[in-house]
């Protein structure tokens, strides 16, 4: 048993901190809130040079073949910086789906392009009626000869407006059973009949879109994995993404706590720093407790994705996603309270954390969904 | 990073578990709420069992052989304690302070003579120890102790009162924090003594807790004579010893409690599957499912946070700030867990042990009440958050405490 970070892992985190401090200050995040694409080519290019796109791509396809925990080092720092843009969608959603379910040819074509920074992607999952539930997929793909024809709407698809490929989970079999009849398609974002519309969202640092399919025709070569059998690989992809997002939450929660704590040391009221009052001190302490304990939980979950059995991987992902995302929201909201009126202004940065926190909490299954999923896993 | 035990550690664990199965007291049921009717029976059972553990070489795994230890590592010690905490917490309860405080204090700060005199008799179950820190006017402000120790020739004369002293009524010795110099700053005039509980002038009066049990006591000291060789460390160095020893094996403590709570949550899931509401098992109720899952997650948080901390310590690192939060991670979640358990039982929740209608032998009623002490004992939640705020996050003390600290400096 050894639950400490290796030197290499610590170095990844240190480098990421250094890079993001320079390249992704809050001014950049604010700029990207207003930007239609939500990132710059410049930062993307530099992230590619840092090998961030390649970390989880297997070596056979031009990547580094690293573990989830290694990528989590970067994601935690990205959460600290509220990094905008399609990094998470590309490496944690699109790339993982192709790694998990792609054919040799699909991997050859797409994974090396992702590793090189030449391909961006995302995953289309949510539907108008699914809410925060990941198990409810109703959009249909009808077979027509050897092709499939896709019709319907996917909601809240992160970064679809800048994606080259969209992994889309749709129903090809009959019935409602999530575990039966789901097929994953690798859709070219320029496909005929596809309309991508950005949504006006609360968190401007990760853009969400509607993706409408009107008779979008997909050949058999665009199926990821086997027809009707997309649910199991999709679960594994989602679990990893939940763990990755949890790491982001830990980073954000940590930073929000630090900002609030720094302020509590210098803001004077009643002749003393407000951090001397236990009402504020204990709030800051609680933020620390939650951030630090979330980090421990997400280390376990990240490890379990690569080295645990199937059940441990599933349980740990839901545990981490429910706990860490709530921690982030608590800390961002607590941060606003400690900062007082200042924290409630657009000028201050704390709202960037609150908005990202709430978006993360609701993404990839909300805490209520994950606790219910945990119960099903525990009592199975 | 690897969350698994090595094959050797796994083997050691299995070996100990199979030894344990054959060596628990006759009729011992790990699922029963209280196996012993009286504390006298419990005390005897503890001593017998400790002797067996000692004879089989399962005590003080990480201490050197010359003091009765096994010369192995903290990892083996933790494995033993984890297994014990999931099978026989009640049986081990009289020894909580003995093994959690007296052993590390004696081992780390005791004189050679003290180690040789006391450690072997603790490890083989002969002696039980208690810890006298708190007083009526020294609760969270523990440095405010006023129990006096005045040096007279070759002994101290101790007068005063301690309170909330767990297992004092069973104890042979007491770790006692006393004021040896009343004329200096609060923290600087304290000393740390070992006191024979059978000495003339020691009077133990049990107090009844909200569970109905009497685990803790008041102790009155009336001109109690304590030989000078019972002083731990230097005179007036008691505060440092008290503080540092409170930190000892904290990481291991969290890991052991984590193992016990893992057992609790699995019992709770089991109870929820067998307890009905409107004819259906409560485990099917969506509201209770959320509570159960939340508690499960909190147990995992404690478990993996504890392991992470412990792992750092095993590698020889100084436990980082993450070490200071373990207390909050077990005490408050345990209250939520037991609260959920009571909530699920509806009107049944009022039925204590001793009825055909008791659920799980009244275990949850006991656990619910007992958990209310968790956020008070071993430093209240409020004190924990002060410590984190001030020592980890660097926030200033409030004006009153800052003023006291200044006059003392």
pLDDT tens string, chain A, 380 residues long: the values are: 899 999 999 999 999 999 999 999 999 999 999 999 999 999 999 999 999 999 999 999 999 999 999 999 999 999 999 999 999 999 999 999 999 999 999 999 999 999 999 999 999 999 999 877 888 899 999 999 999 999 999 999 999 999 999 999 999 987 777 778 999 999 999 999 999 999 999 999 999 999 999 999 999 999 999 999 999 999 999 999 999 999 999 999 999 999 999 999 999 999 999 999 999 999 999 999 999 999 999 999 999 999 999 999 999 999 999 999 999 999 999 999 999 999 999 999 999 999 999 999 999 999 999 999 999 999 98
The band of B318, judged by pLDDT with boundaries at 50, 70 and 90, is low
Give the one of A275, A278, A289 whose C-beta lies nearest to B328's C-beta.
Answer: A289
**Chain B residue at shortest CA distance from A369:** B290
Q: Which CATH superfamily is domain B131-241 in?
A: Butyryl-CoA Dehydrogenase, subunit A, domain 2 (2.40.110.10)
Give the one of B2, B293, B390 whose C-beta lies nearest to A1's C-beta.
Answer: B2
Cα B195 to chain centroid, rounded: 20
The band of B323, judged by pLDDT with boundaries at 50, 70 and 90, is low
Q: Work out the average pLDDT over B152-174.
A: 97
Q: How far is B275 from chain A (nearest CA, A)?
A: 15
**Please, what sign has the CA dihedral across residues B302, B304, B309, B311?**
positive
Question: Residue B243: what pLDDT?
Answer: 83
Q: d(Cα B318, Cα B126) in Å, to the nearest integer? A: 34
> CB contact, 8 Å: B269 with chain A?
yes
Q: How do strand B155-166 and strand B148-152 relate by DSSP bridges?
A: antiparallel
Would you tell me how many other CB atoms lie within 10 Å of the CB of residue B350?
10
Q: d(Cα B276, Cα B89) in Å, to the nearest integer? A: 28
Alpha helices in B283-398 (DSSP H): 286-314, 326-345, 363-371, 381-387
Q: Please classify residue A203 by burial: count the beta carbons closer than 10 Å to its beta carbon, then call 0-12 exposed, 13-18 middle and 19+ buried.
A: buried
**Chain A residue at shortest CA distance from B306:** A296
Q: Work out the average pLDDT over B231-241.
A: 95
Q: A292, B5: Cβ pair inside 8 Å?
A: no
Q: What are φ and ψ of residue B40, in 5° steps?
A: -65, -45
Q: A296, B301: Cβ pair inside 8 Å?
A: yes
Q: CA nearest A169: which of A126, A110, A133, A199?
A: A126
Q: Work out the average pLDDT over B198-225.
A: 96
Question: Which carries the bigger pLDDT value, residue B247 or residue B291?
Answer: B291
- Residue B213 annotated as catalytic: no
Q: Which CATH superfamily is domain A231-378 in?
A: Butyryl-CoA Dehydrogenase, subunit A, domain 3 (1.20.140.10)
Q: Work out the average pLDDT over B180-187.
A: 93
Q: What is the CATH number of domain A7-120?
A: 1.10.540.10
pLDDT tens digits, one per residue of B241-274? 988 767 766 777 888 999 999 999 999 999 999 9
Q: A293, B301: Cβ pair inside 8 Å?
A: yes
**Chain A residue at shortest CA distance from B392:** A285
Q: A273, B269: Cβ pair inside 8 Å?
A: no
Q: Terminus-to-terminus CA distance in chain B, angstroms?
A: 44
Cα A152 to chain centroid, rounded: 24
For tokens 């400096």, the residue is B409
Q: Residue B190 has which token pair?
A: 């304290």
**Chain B residue at shortest CA distance from A295:** B305
Give the one of A282, A308, A316 whose C-beta lies nearest to B389's C-beta.
Answer: A282
Q: What's chain B's average pLDDT?
A: 93
Give the one of A286, A308, A323 whose C-beta lies nearest to B297's C-beta.
Answer: A323
Q: CA nearest A273: which of A283, A282, A263?
A: A263
Pair A138, A171: CB distance under 8 Å: yes
Pair A182, A170: CB distance under 8 Å: yes
Chain B window 47-86: which residues touch A at a Cβ cutoff of 8 Å? Answer: 75
Q: d(Cα B216, Cα B208) in Å, to the nearest integer? A: 7
Question: Residue B20: what pLDDT?
Answer: 97
Q: Residue A287 has which token pair?
A: 């933020």
Residue spans of beta strands (DSSP E) within A100-207: 121-124, 140-144, 147-158, 165-171, 182-188, 194-198
The one catalytic residue in B249, B284, B322, B382 is: B249
Torsional class of B233: left (φ above 0), alpha (ψ -120 to 50), beta (otherwise): left
Give the one of B6, B315, B389 whose C-beta lies nearest to A284's C-beta.
Answer: B389
Q: What is the CATH number of domain B249-378?
A: 1.20.140.10
Q: d(Cα B117, Cα A221) in Å, to the nearest integer? A: 79
**Chain B residue at shortest CA distance from A379:** B269
pTM equals 0.96
Question: Residue B317: what pLDDT?
Answer: 66
B311 contact residues in A (CB cutoff 8 A)? 1-4
CB pairs under 8 A between A and B: 161
What residue spans define the domains of chain A? 7-120, 122-224, 231-378
Alpha helices in B171-249 (DSSP H): 238-247
Q: Check residue A69 and report its DSSP letter.
A: H
Q: How far is B181 from chain A (nearest CA, A)?
A: 31
Would you tell me how many other CB atoms lie within 10 Å of the CB of residue B87?
17
Q: d(Cα A54, Cα A48) in Å, to the nearest integer? A: 8
Q: d(Cα A169, Cα A148) in Å, to the nearest integer? A: 13
Question: Helix, strand, coil proportions of chain B in percent (round to 5)?
Answer: 55, 15, 30
Q: Work out the average pLDDT over B376-391.
A: 92
Q: Residue A52 has which token pair?
A: 């961030």
B304 contact residues in A (CB cutoff 8 A)? 3, 296-297, 299-300
B289 contact residues in A (CB cutoff 8 A)? 371-372, 375
Q: Which CATH architecture has domain B7-127?
A: Orthogonal Bundle (1.10)
SS3 A200: coil
Q: How far is B321 from chain A (nearest CA, A)?
A: 9
pLDDT above 90 as % of chain B: 83
**Chain A residue at shortest CA distance from B388:** A285
Question: Residue B204: what pLDDT?
Answer: 98
The angle subtended at Cα A312 by Cα A307 and Cα A315, nearest 5°, is: 135
Q: Residue B292 has which token pair?
A: 């159960």
A281 contact residues in B (CB cutoff 8 A)? 385-386, 389-390, 395
Question: Residue B320: what pLDDT?
Answer: 58
B399 contact residues in A (CB cutoff 8 A)? 271-272, 276
Q: Residue B56 has which token pair?
A: 């089989």
Q: How far is A149 from chain B (nearest CA, A)?
A: 38
For tokens 């002060």, the residue is B386
Chain B window 363-402: which residues touch A at a Cβ cutoff of 8 Å? Answer: 382, 384-386, 388-390, 392-399, 402
B396 contact residues in A (CB cutoff 8 A)? 265, 272-273, 275-276
Chain B window 141-170: which residues touch A at a Cβ cutoff of 8 Å? Answer: none
Let me know if domain A122-224 sits in CATH 2.60.40.10: no
Q: A374, B290: Cβ pair inside 8 Å?
A: no
> CB contact, 8 Å: B2 with chain A?
yes
Question: Residue A135: what pLDDT?
Answer: 86
Say whether pLDDT at B321 is over 60.
no
């Amino acid at each position: 048993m050894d639950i400490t970070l290796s030197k290499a892992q610590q170095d990844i985190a240190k480098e990421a901190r250094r890079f993001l401090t320079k390249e992704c200050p809050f001014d950049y995040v604010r700029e990207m809130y207003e930007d239609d694409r939500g990132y710059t080519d410049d930062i993307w290019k530099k992230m590619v040079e840092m090998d961030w796109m390649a970390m989880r791509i297997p070596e056979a396809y031009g990547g580094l073949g690293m573990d989830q925990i290694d990528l989590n080092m970067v994601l935690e720092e990205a959460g600290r910086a509220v990094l905008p843009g399609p990094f998470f969608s590309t490496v944690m959603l699109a790339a993982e789906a192709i790694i998990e379910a792609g054919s040799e040819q699909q991997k050859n074509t797409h994974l090396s392009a992702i590793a090189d920074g030449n391909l961006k992607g995302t995953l289309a999952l949510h539907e108008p009626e699914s809410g925060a539930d990941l198990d409810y997929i109703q959009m249909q793909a009808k077979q027509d000869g050897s092709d499939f024809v896709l019709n319907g709407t996917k909601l809240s698809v992160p970064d679809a407006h800048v994606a080259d490929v969209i992994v889309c989970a749709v129903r090809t079999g009959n019935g409602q059973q999530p575990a039966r009849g789901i097929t994953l398609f690798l859709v070219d974002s320029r496909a005929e009949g596809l309309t991508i519309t950005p949504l006006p969202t609360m968190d401007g640092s990760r853009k969400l879109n509607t993706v409408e399919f009107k008779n979008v025709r997909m050949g058999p070569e665009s199926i990821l994995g086997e027809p009707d059998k997309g649910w199991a690989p999709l679960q594994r992809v989602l679990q990893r993404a939940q763990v990755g997002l949890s790491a982001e939450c830990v980073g954000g929660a940590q930073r929000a706590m630090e900002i609030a704590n720094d302020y509590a040391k210098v803001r004077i009221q009643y002749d003393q720093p407000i951090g001397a009052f236990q009402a504020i001190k204990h709030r800051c302490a609680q933020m620390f407790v939650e951030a630090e304990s979330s980090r421990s939980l997400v280390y376990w979950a990240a490890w379990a994705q690569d080295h645990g059995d199937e059940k441990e991987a599933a349980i740990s992902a839901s545990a981490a996603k429910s706990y860490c995302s709530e921690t982030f929201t608590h800390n961002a909201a607590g941060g606003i309270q400690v900062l007082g009126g200042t924290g409630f202004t657009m000028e201050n940065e704390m709202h960037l954390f609150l908005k990202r926190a709430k978006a993360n909490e609701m993404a990839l299954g909300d805490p209520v969904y994950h606790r219910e999923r945990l119960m099903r896993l525990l009592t199975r | 990073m690897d969350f698994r035990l090595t094959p050797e550690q796994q083997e050691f664990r299995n070996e100990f578990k199979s030894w344990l199965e054959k060596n628990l007291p006759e009729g011992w049921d790990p699922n029963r709420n209280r196996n012993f009717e009286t504390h006298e029976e419990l005390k005897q059972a503890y001593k017998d069992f400790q002797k067996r553990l000692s004879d089989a070489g399962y005590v003080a795994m990480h201490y050197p052989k010359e003091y009765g230890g096994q010369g192995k590592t903290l990892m083996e010690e933790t494995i033993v304690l984890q297994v014990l905490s999931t099978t026989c917490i009640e049986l081990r309860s009289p020894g909580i302070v003995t093994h959690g405080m007296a052993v590390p204090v004696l081992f780390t700060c005791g004189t050679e003579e003290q180690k040789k005199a006391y450690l072997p008799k603790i490890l083989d179950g002969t002696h039980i120890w208690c810890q006298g820190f708190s007083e009526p006017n020294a609760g969270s402000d523990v440095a405010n102790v006023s129990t006096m120790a005045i040096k007279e020739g070759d002994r101290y004369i101790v007068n005063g009162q301690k309170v909330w002293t767990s297992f004092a009524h069973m104890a042979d010795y007491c770790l006692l924090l006393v004021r040896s110099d009343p004329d200096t700053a609060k923290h600087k005039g304290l000393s740390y003594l070992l006191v024979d509980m059978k000495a003339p002038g020691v009077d133990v009066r049990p107090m009844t807790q909200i569970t109905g049990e009497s685990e803790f006591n008041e102790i009155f000291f009336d001109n109690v004579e304590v030989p000078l060789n019972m002083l731990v460390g230097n005179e007036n160095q008691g505060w440092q010893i008290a503080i540092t020893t409170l930190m000892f094996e904290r990481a291991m403590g969290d890991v052991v409690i984590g193992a016990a709570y893992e057992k609790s949550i699995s019992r709770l899931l089991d109870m929820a599957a067998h307890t009905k509401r409107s004819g259906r098992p409560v485990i099917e109720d969506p509201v209770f499912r959320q509570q159960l899952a939340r508690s499960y997650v909190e147990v995992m948080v404690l478990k993996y946070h504890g392991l992470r901390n412990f792992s750092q310590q095993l590698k020889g690192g100084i436990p980082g700030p993450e070490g200071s939060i373990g207390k909050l991670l077990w005490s408050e979640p345990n209250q939520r867990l037991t609260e959920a358990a009571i909530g699920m039982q509806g009107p049944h929740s009022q039925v204590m042990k001793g009825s055909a209608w008791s659920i799980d032998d009244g275990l949850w009623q006991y656990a619910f009440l007992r958990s209310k002490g968790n956020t008070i004992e071993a430093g209240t939640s409020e004190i924990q958050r002060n410590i984190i705020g001030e020592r980890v996050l660097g926030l200033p003390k409030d004006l009153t405490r800052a003023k006291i600290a200044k006059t003392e400096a």
